[in-house]
Structure 1
Amino acid sequence: MKKQTRNILRITIISSIVILVGVTLWFNLTSDIQAIQVGDEAVDFQLETLDGGTVQLSDINEDKGVILNFWGTWCEPCREEMPDMNEVYNEGHDDYELIAVNVSEGEQQINQFLASLDDELSYPIALDRNRDVTKVYQIGPLPTTIAIDKNGVVVDKQEYQLTKDDIHRFVELSTSE
């Protein structure tokens, strides 16, 4: 490749990156939507589940705390935290519900991912096909987990992978009055 062509290509790539970063910053700084923060009222939603049912936050949250775990099949930290979540969930979940919210992937892809896990997950998988819930909760990196107490208030939010201790803390916070 000629030196002049390489320079033009480099300048084009660098210019494109600068423009994309600028547009992203502009949208983030001028957005009227504020991210759901700890202390905010949880936003209600209804999603279809992988098994064909539906899950509505307000129905569950009437008498239970809720833990929302946003994840994707391509996300290695998501894969790594799921067995711990399943183990904690199977210890007992009378006072809370754990909902794994898949972010806009197809059922076949999700089922292939779940089949590759060592154990079958006991908690419901909700399908956020259009990313509506993901947008409302302003979810960035995956996994992101949100704890909602029995009063419908967000009591914790953590981006990235949870440890087993983190999961127990989320359960404790979501079941507190």
Structure 2
Amino acid sequence: MSRSVRNIIRITIIIGIVVLTAVTLWFNFSSKNQSTKVGDTAVDFKLKTTEGEVIHLYELTKEKGVIINFWGTWCKPCREEMPHLSEANDLGDGSDYEIITVNVSENKQQINQFLNSLDEEVNLRMAMDSDRSVTKAYNVGPLPTTIAVDKNNKIVKKQEYQLTQEDIQDFIKALNDKGE
């Protein structure tokens, strides 16, 4: 192969890399699919629970703030925080806030097997987002992700990854401070 042919191949490869990089950057920065953040209006949803009940977010937020916890049965941090969420939900009198969980992509049997494997009993409403429509609407990335929605349907707090007991209390406080 001659030197000029090699130079043409090198230049073509370099131009290809530059074009692919530019296209990738353009898609990343022009995407409207950005993460939900504090101050955004919460996306309304209706999901069926493992008990067959339908949870409608905007119906709940007419009377109280809602803490939404997105989780999966395979997620170790979800397993560790679930009893703390249940305890915080039990401690509330039900009038100021409610904690609901949204399981991502799994079925009732998987969820029940997960709950039965826990050392502590969990008393939370388990909504099932089987088609991931709510997860996608909130642009949830890592699990667990927790979002607090006040009585005005505004997101007042959001945290990706595992919650501590102190974090959960901060979520409740955020609802009480902003949800009036």
Query: Closer, same or farther in 2 for the Cα pair 1:27/1:51, shift >3 Å?
Result: farther
Aligned twin of 1:109: 110
The answer to whether the 8 A contact 1:64-1:175 is kept is: no
User: Structure 1 unaligned runs (5+)?
Assistant: 1-21
Distance of 1:156 and 1:25 partners within structure 2: 29
The answer to whether the 8 A contact 1:77-1:161 is kept is: yes
Query: Closer, same or farther in 2 for the Cα pair 1:112/1:149, shift >3 Å?
Result: same
Name the SS of the counterpart of 1:78 in structure 2.
Answer: helix
Q: What pairs with 1:19-168 in structure 2 (closer than 5 Å)? A: 28-92=28-92, 93-168=94-169
Structure 1 ranges of 4+ moved more than 3 A: 22-30
The answer to whether the 8 A contact 1:55-1:126 is kept is: yes
Distance of 2:103 and 2:129 partners within structure 1: 6
AA matched with 2:40:
D
Distance of 1:76 and 1:151 partners within structure 2: 33
CA deviations over 1:54-89 (Å, ceiling 9, x no partner): 000000000100000000000000000011111111
AA matched with 1:32:
K
CA deviations over 1:20-53 (Å, ceiling 9, x no partner): xx89877544422232110011110000001011
User: Structure 2 unaligned runs (5+)?
Assistant: 1-20
Name the SS of the counterpart of 1:172 in structure 2.
Answer: helix
Distance of 2:157 and 2:24 partners within structure 1: 27
Distance of 1:104 and 1:112 partners within structure 2: 15
AA matched with 2:68:
L
Distance of 2:140 and 2:53 partners within structure 1: 24
**Alignment TM-score, normalising by the size of structure 2:** 0.81
CA deviations over 1:102-146 (Å, ceiling 9, x no partner): 001121111100101122221200000100000010000000000
The answer to whether the 8 A contact 2:63-2:95 is kept is: no
Name the SS of the counterpart of 2:34 in structure 1.
Answer: coil
CA deviations over 1:145-173 (Å, ceiling 9, x no partner): 00111111101110000000100110111
Name the SS of the counterpart of 1:55 in structure 2.
Answer: strand
Name the SS of the counterpart of 1:39 in structure 2.
Answer: coil
**Alignment TM-score, normalising by the size of structure 1:** 0.82
Query: Closer, same or farther in 2 for the Cα pair 1:25/1:101, shift >3 Å?
Result: farther
Percent sequence identity over matched residues? 57
Give the root-mean-square deviation of aligned CA atoms: 1.7
Equivalent pairs counted in the alignment come to 156
